[in-house]
A and B are shown apart, each in its own frame.
Chain A
Amino acid sequence: MITALRKRPELQGWLFAFPAAAFLLVFFLVPFFIVVGYSFAERGTYGGVVWSFNPGNYARVFDPLYFNTFLRSVYIAGATTVICFLLGYPLAYFIAMRSPERRNTLLLALMIPFWTNFLIRTYAWLTLLRTNTGLINVTLLNLGLISEPLPLFGNDFAIILGLVYGWLPDMVLPCFAAITRLDRSLLEAASDLYARGSQVFTRVVWPLTLPGVVAGSILVFIPSLGAFITPALLGGGRSLMIGNVINNQFLAAHDWPFGAALSTGMISIMLVITLIYFRTVREEAS
């Protein structure tokens, strides 16, 4: 076998890729096709899956009851992404413009909160935001600043807040990478050629760091779209996202085929968005 590899050096790369590729094949690609298979099956009388060809699951996805949850999830994930960008890009810019030692300290500071389990951190928000017993409303009521508790919990606001909190570093890191890669002499060249600060940004910095912004947006948008812990805890059981509906179909309603159809629908949205990303990056590169 070694002789065969020596004869064909191009195969050596495949050898390195094999373990990860095999892992993903067995534990990702196969289950994915099982889910797609389920989505065309029928629900058994007592749950379970009865194999048949039943595209009706997909017709149900477009039932306003579910489809509106889809749209709301896209809206919440989109708002999360936009807010993460508005907060994350200036922060990434700030960090990238520090000295290399300073950058590492700041990046570490950014990561430290994430050493705590995500579930625990989301529960922490619960104690802050809860309508009647949450720390924020109790404090404001006691100070007499408000007479009614603020609607901080059990709504889209709470979910978006929780998601932004959870995924902000995923926006900051790719933006940071793109901004540090930016050759500073390009900024000087632009300013040498009569561009003011704002023009240097719109004409040089922004187009050259756009791939980082797009990568960060995908890294935030996709997990936000599929989120279910955050809406389950901070949505207060009233405000749901598609992740919760899928969770319910599998674990509560025992309708695996319909849950699988919803999953496939969600994966399709993510796929479309990822393709848009790759096309953007390729256009930037060419």
Chain B
Amino acid sequence: MAKVAVELRNVSKLFPGPGGEEVLAVDRIQLNIPDGEFFSLLGPSGCGKTTTLRMIGGFEMPTEGEIYIDGQFQGYTPAYRRPVNTVFQNYALFPHMTIYENVAFGLEMQKVPKEETERRVAEALELVQMTGMESRKPDQLSGGQQQRIALARALINHPKVLLLDEPLGALDFKLRKAMQFELKELQERVGITFVYVTHDQEEALTMSDRIGVMNEGLLLQVGSAQEIYEAPESRFVADFIGETNYLEGQVAEVRENAVIDDYQADVAEVVVGPGERILAISSPGIHPGQQVTVAFRPEKVRINAGARAQEANRCPGKVTDVVYVGSLTSYQVRLSTGTDVMVRQQNTRATFDTAFHPGDEVTLSWPVVGCQAFSEDRQGEEAVA
């Protein structure tokens, strides 16, 4: 097993609220981040992701629980004695210092000899392609350039873990895209563990080895981009990352370790309407008789004329809305159970008409893998990484 760079054991953080009552910003988080991983904390604003990052950095102390960095218990260790560095949301470059002085600051504080400092500053600037900017002041640089300097200023110290707090938040769309790839590539090159905080689901999916989704102080699910997207274990995670269709129903049967489409998993058979049964991958803890939600992505659904359909899951319905959006066509279909379902069909061939029209009787079909059943009260439990 790989070495653990960051470990959070049952970490909680209480803040004094405005009315005197206390606010639980982070709620009993358990997390292991292996050495060299690009790990993202993803969630809406106020979900506790930044507070979690700040606790790792030593800017906030946990109310309860323990934080280990590189195997060392941190306790109340102040930020300046932790083997981590941070890239701040607004870069926080020192405005009164030159780029050289900014990048060299950490080494200067550690009393690194002058020649070594010069060499490492040159290396760090080369790493972020900012060579030649040494004598400029931060306000003479563009947002993207400041971003690179903030990275260089942190990486020059060879931290065990680099913490990044929405570092691309202030950049425009095109630059963000470019920087996403650059950051990922940089992380692979230097091999340092990155803990990356973002509210942008696409950013998290593109860059991360693993993602932790947070809401209301809880770490809901930890997994790879595919696991988070294809097998969300709660309605929040399914909703937060991409669009999702939901069907409500009762579990009739759980088949443990069933093999479906070369994939082995627990499969739940869910009754979603009179005579309508859906097979779905079962989240941990689902048992027969339970009320569950079945979630599946619009692009996984195939729309078929009449009653013909191939996939395991089928459901008849009527087209209610059609929106042509160029690369794909989006249909809204009302199922016989009364639920509205979104269907996205890739327009692989050029036609000047859509395949179906409002009022058409169709059958929707979708595979079992990618169709996830979870219980609504899953929200309140904590995920274990």
Contacts and interface: CB of A to CB of B under 8 A. Distances in A.
Interface string A183-206: 101101111111110010001100
Instruction: Say which size band chain B's interface belongs to.
Output: 20 to 34
Contact of A188 (B59, B84, B106): B59
Given A186-B92, A188-B79, A188-B92, A193 B105 contact: yes
Contacts of B96: 207-208, 284
B6 to A, nearest CB: 16
Tell me the dominant secondary structure on chain A's binding face: helix
A192 B79 contact: yes
Interface string A17-44: 0000000000000000000000000000
Contacts of A203: 94, 105
A190 B88 contact: no
A228 to B, nearest CB: 39
Instruction: Say which size band chain A's interface belongs to.
Output: 10 to 19
Nearest to A193: B106
Contact of B109 (A183, A188, A194, A284): A194
Nearest to B88: A185
Interface in A78-105: none
Contacts of A188: 59, 79, 86, 88, 92
B242 interface: no
Nearest to B111: A194
A194 B82 CA distance: 8
B90 A192 contact: no
Among A190, A191, A195, A203, which residue has the most Cβ atoms of chain B within 10 A? A191
Interface string A144-187: 00000000000000000000000000000000000000010110
Interface in A259-286: 284
B95 A193 contact: no
B94 A189 contact: yes
A195 B101 CA distance: 14
A193 B81 CA distance: 9
20 contacts: A185-B92, A186-B95, A188-B86, A188-B88, A189-B93, A189-B94, A191-B78, A191-B80, A192-B58, A192-B80, A192-B154, A193-B106, A193-B153, A194-B110, A195-B80, A195-B105, A195-B109, A196-B80, A199-B109, A203-B105
